[in-house]
């Protein structure tokens, strides 16, 4: 499928939600893009994504104002709020900002909500192509329970596809490379919104510009894997993920459920990395302005699980505040090579607090991730025979860079509470 070529490896980038909620500004987007270009681009980080409500002039945090007036063009399409994105003035939309991001050698993305603005339906504004209006295609009983901006689009109505076509025609004009669509992969009120996912897929294919399609929130049902893979490049396996150990522990269950379904341009998504300086204007996740609540061991565990599973990696913190420790997590070339080039990630065992995953690398490389999910130091053992590795191998621990030397029968390691170790085994 053509759309799979747009994300041949798991996408990597930055998203504004974890630090700025719905209230990010153009200056903050530009600043984080500049940091990424200087410090992270060489390691494969490339997407800069403006998260929710860039069209809401009065947004100040991650708490949505109910039924707030939104910036909208004459064809029922939301456009950037000029008070927050001044380069959008004069009908330019996101084109000046995306041009700047592209000038840095990066790619530009936006978040949108499924559907059509409620204010468009109430005002009965036109749709660009055809004679249908917003009221004709709005599904007034299809709403988002946590945000009042949109009605769903009724796929059975004339003009429904034309509306989505006009949206992505606009995004192509803006130079958008990545679109995160929310309230669509799973719903607290309904099932997954498969008809709207299919309309969005068609609209992207018709717009003339390659775009990575990301679907939120989760947990997306595993039973819809085929439908999701046929239309999207990535989809959330979880609701919003935050810097809490219980949520990280739960991700082991989710990765186990989705193992074997990653690769070939489609990537089940563990959600963003709540690392570094977060919560600046986002009060979601049970905390305000803070550095991540994850311990360093927990941060290594998260990065190890995300990378061996091959989840997309989207950093959530204010990049310009990163310390050396955080940057080392994001720029470990050995770990990122595994993330980008491995295959066949699978659970080897999960016994009480001991967890082991493995994946295949090129040139007869095997990766092994060992986790201690308990609250005390544990010794973990992995027999090479369990990996069908009968020959002696050389081992390197990738986070520390420690060369272990030759192993003939087993790998034994002591791991601290909530910690992990990641090995590359080479014949």
Q: How far apart are the first and last CA of the chain?
A: 35
Query: Which comes out higher in pLDDT, residue 382 or 249?
Result: 249
Note the Cα 233 to chain centre separation in Å.
10
HSE (CB half, 13 Å, CA atoms) of 144?
26
User: For residue 360, what pLDDT is reported?
Assistant: 96
What is the bridge-based pairing of β-strands 290-291 and 277-278?
antiparallel
pLDDT band at 367 (very low <50, low <70, confident <90, very high): very high
- C-alpha torsion sign, points 330, 332, 333, 335: negative
pTM higher than 0.75: yes
Residue range 130-134: mean pLDDT, rounded: 95
Percent of the chain with pLDDT over 70: 100
Percent of the chain with pLDDT over 90: 91
User: For residue 63, what pLDDT is reported?
Assistant: 94
- Please write the tens of the pLDDT for every residue from 285-342: 777 899 999 999 999 999 999 999 999 999 999 999 999 999 999 999 999 999 999 9
pLDDT band at 115 (very low <50, low <70, confident <90, very high): very high
User: For residue 284, what pLDDT is reported?
Assistant: 81
């Amino acid at each position: 499928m053509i759309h799979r070529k747009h994300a041949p490896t798991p996408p990597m980038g930055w998203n504004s939600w974890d630090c700025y909620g719905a209230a990010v500004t153009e200056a903050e987007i530009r600043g984080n893009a500049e940091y990424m270009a200087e410090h992270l681009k060489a390691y494969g980080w490339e997407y800069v994504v403006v998260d929710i409500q860039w069209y809401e002039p009065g947004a100040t945090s991650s708490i949505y104002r109910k039924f707030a007036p939104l910036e909208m063009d004459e064809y029922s399409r939301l456009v950037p709020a000029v008070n927050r994105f001044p380069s959008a003035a004069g009908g330019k939309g996101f084109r000046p900002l995306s041009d700047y991001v592209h000038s840095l050698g990066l790619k530009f993305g936006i978040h949108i909500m499924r559907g059509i603005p409620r204010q468009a339906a109430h005002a009965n504004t036109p749709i660009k192509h055809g004679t249908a209006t917003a009221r004709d295609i709005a599904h007034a009983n299809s709403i988002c329970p946590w945000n009042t901006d949109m009605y769903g689009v009724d796929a059975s109505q004339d003009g429904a596809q034309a509306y989505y076509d006009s949206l992505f025609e606009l995004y192509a004009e803006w130079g958008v490379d990545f679109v995160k669509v929310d309230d669509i992969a799973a719903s607290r009120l309904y099932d997954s919104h498969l008809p709207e996912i299919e309309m969005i897929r068609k609209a992207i294919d018709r717009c003339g510009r390659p775009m990575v399609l990301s679907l939120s929130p989760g947990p997306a049902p595993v039973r819809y894997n085929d439908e999701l893979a046929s239309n999207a490049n990535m989809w959330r396996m979880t609701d919003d993920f935050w810097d809490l150990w219980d949520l990280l522990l739960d991700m082991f269950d989710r990765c186990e459920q989705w193992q074997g379904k990653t690769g070939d341009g489609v990537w089940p998504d563990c959600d963003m990395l709540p690392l570094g300086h977060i919560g600046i204007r986002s009060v979601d996740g049970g905390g305000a302005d803070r550095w991540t609540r994850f311990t360093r061991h927990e941060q290594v565990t998260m990065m190890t699980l995300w990378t061996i599973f091959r989840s997309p990696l989207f950093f959530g913190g204010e990049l310009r505040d990163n310390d050396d420790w955080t940057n080392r997590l994001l720029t470990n070339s050995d770990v990122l090579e595994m993330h980008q080039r491995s295959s066949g990630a699978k659970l080897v065992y999960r016994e009480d607090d001991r967890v082991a995953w493995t994946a295949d690398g090129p040139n007869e490389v095997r990766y092994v991730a060992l986790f201690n999910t308990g609250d005390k130091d544990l010794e973990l053992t992995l027999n090479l025979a369990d990996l069908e590795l009968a020959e002696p191998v050389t081992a390197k621990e990738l986070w520390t860079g420690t060369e272990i030397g030759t192993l003939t029968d087993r790998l034994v390691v002591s791991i601290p509470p909530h910690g992990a170790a990641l090995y590359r085994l080479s014949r």
